[in-house]
Structure 1
Amino acid sequence: MKKTFLTRITTSKEALLYVMTISMVVSFSAWMSLLNNFTVEVASFDGSQIGILQSLREIPGLLAFTVILVLAIIAQQRLVYLSIMMLGLGTALTGFFPTPIGLYITTVIMSIGFHYLETLNQSLSLQWLDKSRSPIVLGKLFAVKSFAGLLVFILIYILMNYLAVEYKYVYLIFGGFSFILGLAAWFLFTHFKEAVIQERKLRVKKEYWLFYLLTFLAGARRQIFVVFAGFLLVEKFGVDIHNMIILLFVNSILNMYIAPKIGKFIVRFGERLTLRLEYLGLMIVFVSYAFVDSVSVAFALYLIDHLLFAMAITLKTYFQKIADPKDISSASAVSFTINHIAAVFLPAVLGLVWLYSNSLVFIIGAVIAFVSFALSNLVPKEPEMGYETTLVRKDDLQSSNA
């Protein structure tokens, strides 16, 4: 019997990964892009209140490991749907509670949904995708993520500038979309059985130490970019909101084109070379940030830095190759927590450094990139389970398998 288009979609694991990505981007992009203006113009937040809100937003990321505890009582796929709905609900309610307590509560709801969904997205991607195809599919997912974010940005601009829609209804539209998408996916998609039963206990395995360490350093690098790169453009070069919008548009379009090609590059040349190129690029970008005096060069650095974000899929495919299949859920949750450790202390510490020298902040970023580059040399040319780093002798692995 010939399958209908809807049947092909609802029985496809890859299609569900796309649904997860789109639902995540639609709500979080809307929440994030409106946040600063909404908290100032409607909620009348001061600096301390926005600081508390941002700290509360990061706590669920730090506690992402708890997803394993929840998976002991609920299947991964159902938790995906609940996470999408929590993300959508938290976003949809944001505009209706413009008070400190109200925004703190809706932020926590949104953030739990977002961080659980992001953790499960990584876990299921690595479980469901074939190792030979995963870099290509992950690249396409990154491109879809960029396109969805661009579309959200355009729609928000139209709704608020041409249709004069209030903040609370904009939040409701995008949050409601994700909530309904999660609910529809729950009822429409086939429940996919686990090919490998996942470990339901939290374990930090020594075999994955290099993956964990590179993940921590990637989280530190992310914080430096997210917090200080855009701030440099505004503070040092006086870039206004209109030019920042144009920059984000260009970045999204470039990512839609480049991300799938990065996936193909990984398939052809492997994780070790790709990671080396990423970290080498980061060193150059951060050193250049430290001494840039031209706004045009600063724009170019911002775009290149964003493009290097797309290469983050390399760490995922490296882990997929070295991991015991039953460890993927547990290790994904642990790695997501590790990735957020830097978010707790680094912005505050480097904020103090910024007062002394903004160049020094980016030099520290370059040092982090250098350490990552040095560690990337420990990634085997052809990593596999049992041969996680070059410190493990390949002949020992072969003799143990014999």
Structure 2
Amino acid sequence: MGAGQGTTIRAEAPSGLSAEQLRRGYTLLAITTFLALIVINIPQTISPNFFRDEIGMGGALNGYLIAIREVPGFLLIFVAAILLRQGLARATAIALVVAGVGYMLFAGANSFVGLIVPTLISSIGYHSWLQLQDALGLSLAKHGEEGSVLGRFRSIGFAGTIVALIVTLAILFALERTSGDLRAVQGPWLRGLFVATGVCAVVGALVILRFPVSADARALAKAAPRITWRKEYRLYYWLTFLDGSRQQIYFAFAPFVLVDTFGVDALTLTTLLIVSAVINWRTGGLVGKLVDRHGEKRMLTAGYTLHLVVFLGFALSQNVWLLYLTYLGYNFLFLFSIGTTTYLRKICLPQDLAPSLAMGISMAHLTAIVVPIAGAALWERLGYQFPFLFGTVFIFVSLWLTQQIDIPRQRIAGAPGTAALADEGEREMEADAPVLPTDSGPVPSPAATLGLAAEDAEPREETAPPAPRPAGVGGGE
């Protein structure tokens, strides 16, 4: 199926929803995803300059604030245990409202201490959304098309990012043109943007409340474990743990390298983020399809190799234009995390998916306090380059663990069996794999993706392969 043809949903899809309900689910989740990425990206865009110019923070102090922000991520397994009792749609609505309230409170902050409560509240909502968005998207996906569906929703989200960044850029550009001194007048406008972010979050919450839920999904939610820890999923836990450790380095220090060390202003940083969002919008669907076509092992290997190049670029480059390129590269590589999520979907029990995604996010935050503080200490004592050199350790270990992926052997008994998984082992072991294609057709616009479901497609008969024996990280104990 070409990238421009959309994802076909059959009436007998695993969600138990009718074709009409599936279409409505796609539309509502697409709108919510669009708004949620506006909610996330406006604060991320303006925060470095808001913290530096209005609060008076530097790069090291920002590392400490990041450590505080990530505490709710570590506690997400307990937050999810409460939220998931409400069902996925209601849990998502609650998460967005909480995030919106937190971002609104940033508007009243005037000191580092004043940032702590808004940071914690917004972080609870933000991290809850991270695991709920994928669980909702996967509830609409046929087996074997998980990557494509998640990729399309990533593209829709980046369309929301583009809108958020263009609005922010327009406001900052107008302020600079009319005042001649952006830093002197930007304060009230940055605070106003935090308030607007909260409003978007509430609207997104109202939309997702209408998300269709089948009777089977309701029964599954009631029976699902609220906290899940299974040794069969430990490779997923390790990968998310290492991804989270690497991301702490990036989020805490990459923007501040540009702003604090190379003097990049809010206008330039926003422009850079718009370019990044356009790239990801146009390639999100393609990356998802490549995950479905070439498998999680190959795509994650490629992604981690490129992560290594990016981190070395931040550490070693003295050219701001090369840093722009590495910044764009890292943001693009976020798309490759689709492979980690689809890997879990293919090996786990259906009722374990949402709580296991929450567990993965908590694992990603086990080092949320230690890594930013260690990075801040390295920055202060040795220079901004050393947090990124420290981050390459996590990337090397991720590359090694990725080679242990063996989906047919690691699927546990009771996980959904599909014909698409029957040849997974063969695809992973092909010695002469073709070079990854650079293009497989156009990625549809956000409007086009609202009609991803097609009810006139013929049902496809699927045959479940024999359940393999449970295995651990390497496929055996």
Q: Same fold (TM over 0.5)?
A: yes
CA RMSD of aligned residues (A): 3.3
1:385 aligns with 2:411: yes
**Alignment identity in percent?**
25
- Do structure 1's residue 88 and structure 2's residue 114 form an aligned pair? no
> Alpha carbons of 1:325 and 1:45: their partners in 2 closer, same or farther (altered >3 Å)?
same
Q: Distance in 1 between matches of 2:326 and 2:58?
A: 31
Equivalent-residue separation in structure 2 for 1:255 and 1:208 (angstroms): 29
> 1:373: which partner in 2?
399
In structure 1, C-alpha distance between the alignment counterparts of 2:261 and 2:104, rounded to whole Å: 36
**1:229 CA drift (Å):** 2.9
Which segments of 5 or more consecutive residues in structure 1 lack a partner in the other structure? 1-6
- Match among 131, 151, 160 for residue 143 of structure 2: 131
Code of the aligned partner of 2:358: A
Which has the larger displacement, 66-75 or 243-252? Answer: 66-75
* Paired residues for 1:1-400 under 5 Å: 12-39=24-51, 53-71=65-83, 73-96=85-108, 98=110, 103-159=115-171, 161-162=173-174, 166-186=189-209, 188-195=210-217, 197-198=220-221, 199-234=224-259, 237-354=262-379, 355-380=381-406, 382=408, 385-386=411-412, 398=468
Task: Name the aligned partner's letter for residue 369 of structure 1.
Answer: I
CA displacement, residues 259-289 of structure 1 (integer Å, 9 cap, x when unaligned): 2111111111111111111112222333343
Whether the 8 Å CA contact 1:142–1:256 is kept in 2: the answer is yes
Task: Specify the code of the residue in structure 2 equivalent to 1:258.
Answer: T
Would you say the 8 A contact 2:412–2:467 is kept in 1? yes
SS of equivalent residue, structure 2 residue 367: helix
Structure 1 residue 133: deviation in Å?
1.6
Distance 1:332 1:80 in 2: 14
**Cα separation, partners in 2 of 1:93 and 1:192, compared to 1, 3 Å:** farther
CA distance in 2, matches of 1:247, 1:141: 22
SS in 2 for 1:162: helix
Q: 1:38 to 1:305 in 2, by over 3 A?
A: closer
What's the secondary structure of 1:131's corresponding residue? Answer: coil
Distance, in Å, in 2 between the alignment partners of 1:141 and 1:218 is: 21
Letter in 2 for 1:190: P
Q: Distance in 1 between matches of 2:391 and 2:122?
A: 30
Distance 1:344 1:399, change over 3 A: closer
Equivalent pairs, count: 389
Counterpart of 2:128, as a letter, is: Y
* Structure with higher RCO (Cα < 8 A, 6+ apart): 2
Between the aligned partners of 1:193 and 1:64, the Cα distance in structure 2 is 27
User: What displacement does 1:40 show?
Assistant: 5.5
Q: Which has the higher helix share?
A: 1
Secondary structure of 1:200's aligned partner: coil
Cα pair distance change 1:379/1:241, threshold 3 Å? same
Q: Say whether the 8 Å CA contact 1:119–1:332 is kept in structure 2.
A: yes
Paired residue type of 2:146:
S
Comparing 51-60 with 315-324, which one deviates more in the overlay? 51-60
Contact 1:24 1:114 in 2 (8 A): no
Distance 2:384 2:52 in 1: 26
- Per-residue deviation at 1:324? 1.1
Q: Is the Cα contact below 8 Å between 1:203 and 1:331 reproduced in 2?
A: yes
158-167 or 297-306: bigger deviation: 158-167
Aligned residues of 1:131 and 1:317 also touching (Cα < 8 A): no
Comparing 31-40 with 279-288, greater Cα deviation is found at 31-40
* Aligned-pair CA distance for 1:386: 2.6
- Which structure 2 segments of 5+ residues have no match? 1-18, 176-185, 416-423, 426-464, 471-477
**1:23–1:182 contact (8 Å) kept in structure 2:** no
